[in-house]
Structure 1
Amino acid sequence: MKQSDTYRENSDNCRRLADDALDEPQRKRYLRMAEAWLALAEEQDWLDGESSASVEKQPSTN
């Protein structure tokens, strides 16, 4: 399993925990953690030389 896949699983786990949160501060904390794990996954993909689906190609100006 790729490292970025592990990070995405962690993000998914945090989202599930957010769904079961007992209060709003706890829910927001888990959602911030989920976003951080996802950002790490995308950065790891970039470091591994894989293109990210969230990055759009810019049109050529030439």
Structure 2
Amino acid sequence: MKQSEIFRDNADNCLQLAERAEAQPAHNRFLRMANAWTALADEQDWLDGEVPPVPTRRPQKQDA
């Protein structure tokens, strides 16, 4: 299993915990943790060369 997949599994677990949280502070904390794990997974995909670092843009024509 790829490292980024493990990170995404952790994010999914945090989302499940957020759904079951009884208090709003705990719910918010689990959502922040899920976002952090997702960001780590995206970064790992970039480090592994699976995605480009930034979206490529095509030059735009300027009307004269």
Superposition RMSD in Å: 1.8
Q: Which residue of 1 aligns with 2:28?
A: 28
Letter in 2 for 1:50: E
What does residue range 1-62 of structure 1 map to in structure 2 within 5 Å? 1-51=1-51, 56-61=55-60
The percentage of counterpart residues that share the same residue type is 53
Unaligned runs of 5+ in 1: none
Letter in 1 for 2:57: Q
TM-score calculated relative to the size of structure 1: 0.86
Runs of 4+ in 1 over 6 A off after TM superposition: none
The aligned length equals 60
Q: The residue matched to 1:60 in structure 2 has which SS?
A: coil
